[in-house]
Each structure stands twice: as C-alpha cells, then as structure tokens.
Amino acid sequence: MIPPVANPDPTDPILRVGGLTVSFATDRDPVTAIRDVSFDVNPGEILSIVGESGSGKTVSLLSILGLTDPRTTTTSGSVIFKGKRILELPDREMRRIRGREIALISQDPMTALTPVYTIGMQIAEQIRAHQSISRRGARKRAVELLGEVGLPNPSEMVDRFPHQLSGGMRQRAVIAMALSCNPALLVADEPTTALDVTVQAQVLDLLRRLRKDFGSSIILITHDMGVVGEMADRVLVMYAGRVVESGTAEQIFDDPWHPYTWGLLASIPPLRGPRPERLASISGTPPTPANLPPGCAFAPRCRFRFEPCSNPPPRYKDDGHTALCFIPPEDRPRLRATVLGGERSAA
Amino acid sequence: MALTILQRLFQMLFVMFGISVLAFLIFFATPGADPAARIAGRNASPETVAAVRANFGLDRPLPIQYGLMMKRLFVTRDLTSFVNRGQRVIPQVLDAAPITLCLVVGAAFFWLVGGVVLGLLAAALRDSFIDKASMAIALVGVSIPAFWLGEVLNLVSQSRFHDTWLFAWVPALGYKPFWSDPWMWFKTLLIPWISLATLYIGLYGRVLRANLVEAYQEDFIRTARAKGLSPGRVLIKHALRTSLIPFITLFGLDFGALVGGQALLTEVVFGLNGIGRLTYQSLQTLDLPVILATVIYASFFVVMANALVDVVYVLIDPRVRGS
C-alpha cells in the first residue's frame, strides 16, 4: 500500500526524471531510442515536449509510466514521482499510481477507447479500480466528470458507445476519464493532433482550466509550436531521443539557442504581415535510432555545422536554459538571424 | 436490435429457399441425366422407371416438379428412397440428426472452452515456455486427422487397455439415446467428443492467441493499462471481448459444416449413424431423394449457424447494432 504522501515541500518538483535511457531489443543489437533525458515537472506547471515524429517524445513518457513492453524494452535512469522512485516499483504498486496519480491522455481519441463499452462504463471502471465506491456512485461521478469537461447532456452521454461520439466529444471523454481520480500529473500525448482546429482550441482551453481548478501539473507532448506557445510554462525540445534544448517558454521563444529549435520556430506561419511564398522547413529527415551519426545527431541537417559537430556536443547552461550544441553563445544571435529574421534575435 | 435479428431471420428463410431450388435443380434438372432412372436405382425395369416418373411428377414442368418435391419433403413427408426398397427419407434424416447434433454440440463445448483457455493462456504468458509449448501442442492437434486420433483412442480404450481401471468404463461403440440412459449417453460420446474437439482446440487456440496479441498493439489497451487496471482485467475485459469476432466467425462456419455432415469420419470411426454417414451411404448408392433431403438439412444448419453468429456479433459489438 502506498500512502498518498503529500509533497514534503509544495515547491519541490512533482516529477524528476534523471538520465532516462530507453533501448529496444531488435533482431540485431539493442537500439537506444532515448538517451539521457532529464527534466523536472513542478507542481501546477505545464511542461511541453516538442519534436518531430519519432524523436522519442511518446516513448519517454510511456517508459516513465511503465507502459513499455518489458520483454523488448530496457529502461534505465531515475524517475522520482512525489519523492518515490517509480521505475523500480513492482507492477502491482505501479498500478496504484497509474490512473490515480499520473493519468494519460492518448493521442488519438478515435482509438483510445475500447469500442465495445460505453464511455460511462470505462470512466467508472477507472474510478472503481482505485476507490472503493459503489457501481452507482462511480456512474454518478462519471456523469459529473463528463459535465465538467463540457459534454452536453452528460447523463445521456454516459451510456453512449465511443463510435456514437464525434472526435472532439471522444477526446473530452478521454480527458474526463483521465481526470476521474484527480491525478497530480496529467500526461497528454498530442491531445489535439487528431482534432479540428476549433475543437483543438476548446480542448486546450479545457486543459488550461484543469490546471487552474485542480492545480494539476501537465506534460503536454506536441509537435505543434503554436500549441507550445499558447500553453507551455517550460519547454523541452527533443531530437533523435535526446533533449537538445530546454528552458522556459520565454527563453525558447525569445532567445532560442539550438539550430533545431530555430528551424521549428521558423516553420510557424506568421499571423501578421505578408504571407510567405513557402513556409520554412528543415530539410532531410530525422535519423532512426539504429543509425545515429556519431557526433551531434542533428549535424547532417544543420545549416550551421562546422568541424566540432562530428563529436558529441557539449551542453550549454545558463539560468535553467540548456542547449546541446557547439555554437558558442556570442555567435548565436548572428546565426539565428539568418533563420528567423532580425526581430527575434534582438531579444 | 430486435428488428436487426428479425431481419436476419427473414434473410435466412430466403437463403434457404434459394438453396432448396439450387439443390433441386442440380439433382433433377441436370441435362443428360434422367432423375427417374436414378431414383429407380440401377438395373430397374422400364416399367419401374415409368412408375417413378409418374409418381414423382417428373413428366411435368420444372416448377411443378419442385413444388411436388418440396411438398413431399416438408408437408406429407412421404418421400421414399427407391434404392432401399421404399424406405421413407424423412424418418431416416430425423433419426440421424440427433446423433450428429449430440456429437457436434458436445465437441463444440469442449473446443470452445479449450480454445479460449489455450488462447488466453498463451497470450497472457506470451513468449514464455508455456506459450511456446502450448502452441506446439496445438499445432500437433491441428495436424492430427480426426479419424486417426479416433482410431487410436478406440484401439487404446476398446481393446488394448480396455480391461484396466483406466478404460473399463468405456462402453461399446455406437450411440445410446440420451433419454433412455443419460449417463450411458455421456460415456459413449465422451471419447468421440474429445477426438473431434482436439483439432479445433488447437486451431481456435492459435487463432485467438494471434488476435489477442494483435489487440495488445491497440491504443485502447494502452489506455486500459494506463488506467491502472490489473493485467487480468485488461486481458479479459478489454482484449478478449474485442478479439472474439474472428473466433466466432470461424465457429459459425465450422459448427454448421460439422452438423451438416462434415463429422463423417468421426461418425464412422465411432459407429455413430449420423447425418454424415447417411449422406455418404446415399451418395454411394446415388439415392437421390435422400441426398436431396440431407443437402437441404445441412444447408439449414449452415444458414442457422451463420444467423446465430450474426446475432452474437450484435450482442458483443455495439458497432454492429446501428444507432
């Protein structure tokens, strides 16, 4: 039995990930998909993890939750949740944390719900897995939750099957389910990717409200820099299984250090001014974990690579802002201006 | 939902009508073959053939022939076989049907339970020794012909070891009606059940395991695990329920075919005079009325089993219900 320990100090990080490394068994040698990922999540904070598809955002979070397949995956490093090392916990105890203290919102609401049960049953199932409450009580709570996430007519919706709901409604149901045990940490894996733009905005509003009303911390995985700018307190930029840059949202948007981050920022369509002929893009494709280049993983696609880049890059640190790059601080504004234009590098 | 089921039953009647027409045409309207001569049997005198022709109305137009035949099959039930000296067809089928039904329903119970248990076990302990061993045994079970297994079981239980404590309870071959002695009925059928079910346990176990393993790649399984549910609950409530569709489809096909006569080899080996054996014998003597009756009987069960499967779909998968 794990007592629901209160945080010793309310300002301590609720989740500390240190040196997380994940490798998969393949037919040949094991392949390291996540290498030395470290970050903290503070209470009530929205941490955003950005990166292209395949950069290891989802895998790192699944391994924190212990949802990777232990037959093919080895995880090392330390994950401390509310002062407890959770990677080493036996499955039985980890199950008490999963769904109750750390809840997951999946990427695709179309496939995230079991098709053969009503959404009410699926929400009640999670409540009953963690609390001793009557079937009736759990159902009543499910109706309340569906109302809280803004589904119209919750007492009717509770008996609907997933295929009877639209994408946005399903995502609300998934969020209601994630909230059912008032988790301290909410992990949202690209919660808006599969949704229409207007519904995206509603779901993001909902997440912001949750943070305000319940004080939950949120890890928001996305590849949409627009979503990051709107939501995040702090940002983690991942590339090829490593954290290439991290910092507060202001640091990342006003003074980005890593050429990869510059590329991501340059790819946001501008809201004002003339429409560009083409959106900027980063040429090439990210490397697969099996054939990472020996030095900086981004070097083959980087416009600014120079000799040292064939060696492992150093991590620059300043006031919580870190970047994994050889470009010295004094050269950054000049190089950055060639990607992002003048106005950003002024910051 | 009731409407869906009613619709399905209506479709079933329609399909059966079509099958009866087809079967009738194949046997009675094939060009170049005289059904009257076939029914009269080999070496029949021209007078007999003429009598048969008049008796069956084979000198009248085809639709009337069909109507007469169906009337004799279902209404007056006095269709007779000429090969077997005027034996009536319907009682023969009605005598054989319960034997086949008992054999197949009992075996189906064993193979459904066995298949689900084997599939669940192998999927839950995936890649472990138990998984590999059970799948290897299942492969052996699939590969063993039912008649061979039946003969071996007979050899062991009826002759070699019959006098030991292990098999002294095994009664002689042949069918004992349920109503006269249920315990005896059970004992005579137990070994046939096992021999028929072995093949299907292996097959169904492997199919279910494959579907379960596939289901574990689904997002909703990840959601279920992220909810903090126990592995058993994830397996039974979330993975099994959604993996059952192919399993049930397969069951409908196999069950219908077996009741319709595919259990022939098992019936012969264990001396059970079921539908398979009846069909086989009538084919050997080209006893057209009996063949017609057994084909229509078999089609009835295939169609029935498929309709039942559709009803089960509706029960386990809400997406089929229509909203």
Residues B25 and B78 in one domain: yes
Strands A185-189, A102-105: pairing is: parallel
CA distance linking residue A274 with residue A263, whole number of Å: 20
A342 confidence band (pLDDT: 50, 70, 90):
low
Asked if residue A282 has pLDDT above 60, the reply is yes
CA distance linking residue A277 with residue B182, whole number of Å: 85
Q: Do B127 and A111 touch (CB under 8 A)?
A: no
Residues A190 and A61 in one domain: yes
- Whether residue A2 lies inside any domain: the answer is no
pLDDT tens per residue across span A18-48: 999 999 988 888 888 899 999 999 998 999 9
Asked if residue A57 has pLDDT above 60, the reply is yes
Using a CB-CB cut-off of 8 Å, the residues of chain B touching A193 are none
pLDDT average, residue stretch A114-137: 93
Residue B139's CB: how many other CB atoms inside 10 A? 14
- Whether residue B23 lies inside any domain: the answer is yes
- Whether residue B2 lies inside any domain: the answer is no
Closest chain A C-alpha to B239 CA, distance in angstroms: 9
SS3 state at A208: helix
Write a three-state SS string for chain B: CHHHHHHHHHHHHHHHHHHHHHHHHHHHCCCCCCHHHHHHCCCCCHHHHHHHHHHHCCCCCHHHHHHHHHHHHHHCCCCEECCCCCEEHHHHHHHHHHHHHHHHHHHHHHHHHHHHHHHHHHHHCCCCHHHHHHHHHHHHHHHCCHHHHHHHHHHHHHHHCCCCCCCCCCCCCCCCCCCCCHHHHHHHHHHHHHHHHHHHHHHHHHHHHHHHHHHCCCHHHHHHHHCCCCHHHHHHHHHHHHHHHHHHHHHHHHHHHHHHHHCHHHHHHCCCCCHHHHHHHHHHCCCHHHHHHHHHHHHHHHHHHHHHHHHHHHHHCHHHCCC
Q: Do B317 and A104 touch (CB under 8 A)?
A: no
Q: Do A103 and B241 touch (CB under 8 A)?
A: no
Picking from A99, A108, A163, the nearest residue to B227 by CB comes out as A99
pLDDT tens per residue across span A168-183: 889 889 989 998 888 9
Tell me, yes or no, if A161 comes closer than 8 A to chain B by beta carbon: yes
Q: Which of A107-121, A125-139, B167-181, B217-231 has the lowest mean pLDDT?
A: B167-181
CB pairs under 8 A between A and B: 80
Q: Residue B68: give the domain boundaries.
A: 17-90
A301 phi/psi in degrees, rounded to 5: -105, 0
Residues B237 and B124 in one domain: yes
Tell me, yes or no, if A114 comes closer than 8 A to chain B by beta carbon: yes
Residues contacting B318, CB < 8 A, separation 6+: A115, A116, A161, A163
Picking from B223, B241, B316, the nearest residue to A113 by CB comes out as B223
- Whether residue B196 lies inside any domain: the answer is yes
- Whether residue A32 lies inside any domain: the answer is yes
Q: Which of A127, A148, A182 lies at the terminal end of a domain, its last residue?
A: A182
Residues B180 and B200 in one domain: yes
> What letters, b where the CB count within 10 A reaches 16 and e where it falls short, cover A310-329?
eeebeebeeeebbbbbbbee
Picking from B219, B229, B238, the nearest residue to A106 by CB comes out as B219
Q: Do A71 and B225 touch (CB under 8 A)?
A: no
Closest chain B residue to A121, measured at CA: B237
Q: Which of B90, B106, B125 lies at the terminal end of a domain, its last residue?
A: B90
Residues B186 and B86 in one domain: no
CA distance linking residue B6 with residue B228, whole number of Å: 41
Picking from B126, B220, B228, the nearest residue to A95 by CB comes out as B228
Residue in A94, A113, A114, A127 to test binding to B, most B beta-carbons within 10 Å: A114
Q: Which of B90, B105, B140 lies at the terminal end of a domain, its last residue?
A: B90
Query: Which residues in chain B land under pLDDT 50?
Result: 323
Residues A69 and A117 in one domain: no
- Give the pair of three-digit tokens for residue A14: 């609720």
Residues A337 and A262 in one domain: yes
Using a CB-CB cut-off of 8 Å, the residues of chain A touching B238 are 114
- Whether residue B307 lies inside any domain: the answer is yes
Q: Which of A11-20, A136-145, B174-183 has the lowest mean pLDDT?
A: B174-183
pLDDT tens per residue across span B256-296: 889 888 888 889 889 898 888 888 888 888 788 888 888 88
- Whether residue A332 lies inside any domain: the answer is yes
- Whether residue B206 lies inside any domain: the answer is yes
Picking from A106, A126, A163, the nearest residue to B222 by CB comes out as A106
At residue A9, the pLDDT reads 64
Closest chain A C-alpha to B184 CA, distance in angstroms: 43
At residue B85, the pLDDT reads 64
Residues A198 and A293 in one domain: yes
Q: Which residues of B touch A (CB under 8 A)?
A: 126-127, 218-220, 222-231, 233, 237-238, 241-242, 316-319, 323
Picking from B126, B220, B228, the nearest residue to A111 by CB comes out as B220
At residue B165, the pLDDT reads 78
Which domain CATH number covers A314?
A: 3.40.50.300
- Whether residue A106 lies inside any domain: the answer is no
At residue B245, the pLDDT reads 87
Tell me, yes or no, if A273 comes closer than 8 A to chain B by beta carbon: no
- Whether residue A138 lies inside any domain: the answer is yes
At residue B103, the pLDDT reads 93
At residue A143, the pLDDT reads 95
Asked if residue A15 has pLDDT above 90, the reply is yes
Closest chain B residue to A159, measured at CA: B318
More confident residue, A236 or A286: A236
Which domain CATH number covers B239?
A: 1.10.3720.10
Residues A195 and A293 in one domain: yes
Residues B173 and B54 in one domain: no
Q: Residue A219: give the domain boundaries.
A: 12-101+184-269+280-347
Give A 116-135 residues with CB within 8 A of chain B: 116-117, 125-126, 129-130
Q: Which of A131, A165, A182 lies at the terminal end of a domain, its last residue?
A: A182
CA distance linking residue A256 with residue A264, whole number of Å: 10
At residue B70, the pLDDT reads 86
Q: Do A71 and B230 touch (CB under 8 A)?
A: no
Residue type, B230: S
Residues A81 and A214 in one domain: yes
A346 confidence band (pLDDT: 50, 70, 90):
very low
Residues A150 and A292 in one domain: no
Using a CB-CB cut-off of 8 Å, the residues of chain A touching B317 are 115-116
- Give the pair of three-digit tokens for residue A271: 């809201």
Share the mean pLDDT of chain A: 87
- Whether residue B41 lies inside any domain: the answer is yes
At residue B84, the pLDDT reads 64
Residues B262 and B139 in one domain: yes
Residues B194 and B62 in one domain: no
- Whether residue B4 lies inside any domain: the answer is no
Q: For chain A, how many structural domains are there in total?
A: 2
Closest chain A C-alpha to B124 CA, distance in angstroms: 13
What is the share, in percent, of chain A residues with pLDDT greater than 90?
Answer: 42
- Whether residue A5 lies inside any domain: the answer is no
Residue in A89, A116, A185 to test binding to B, most B beta-carbons within 10 Å: A116
pLDDT tens per residue across span A194-241: 778 888 888 888 888 888 888 889 999 988 888 898 899 999 999 999
Residues B274 and B169 in one domain: yes
Q: Which of B41, B62, B90 lies at the terminal end of a domain, its last residue?
A: B90
Residue type, A295: G
Q: Do A116 and B241 touch (CB under 8 A)?
A: yes
Cα–Cα separations (whole angstroms), residue B287 to A153, B77, B279: 67, 17, 9
At residue A40, the pLDDT reads 92
Residues B195 and B86 in one domain: no
Q: For chain B, how many structural domains are there in total?
A: 2
Q: What is the ipTM of this complex?
A: 0.85
Residues A315 and A291 in one domain: yes
Tell me whether residue A51 is exposed, middle or buried, using C-beta atoms within 10 angstroms of its C-beta: 0 to 12, 13 to 18, 19 or more: buried
Using a CB-CB cut-off of 8 Å, the residues of chain B touching A106 are 219, 222-223, 226
Q: Which of A163, A182, A201 lies at the terminal end of a domain, its last residue?
A: A182
Asked if residue A270 has pLDDT above 80, the reply is no
Residues B86 and B102 in one domain: no
- Whether residue A256 lies inside any domain: the answer is yes
Residues B127 and B52 in one domain: no
A154 confidence band (pLDDT: 50, 70, 90):
very high
Residues B134 and B217 in one domain: yes
Residues A286 and A309 in one domain: yes
- Whether residue A7 lies inside any domain: the answer is no
Q: Do A177 and B219 touch (CB under 8 A)?
A: no
Tell me, yes or no, if A182 comes closer than 8 A to chain B by beta carbon: no
Closest chain A C-alpha to B146 CA, distance in angstroms: 37
At residue B78, the pLDDT reads 80
pLDDT average, residue stretch A283-288: 84
CA distance linking residue B189 with residue B103, whole number of Å: 7
Q: Do B220 and A112 touch (CB under 8 A)?
A: yes
- Whether residue B7 lies inside any domain: the answer is no
Residues A285 and A334 in one domain: yes
Cα–Cα separations (whole angstroms), residue A154 to A14, A135, A159, A173: 32, 17, 9, 10
Closest chain B C-alpha to A323 CA, distance in angstroms: 32
Residues A295 and A315 in one domain: yes
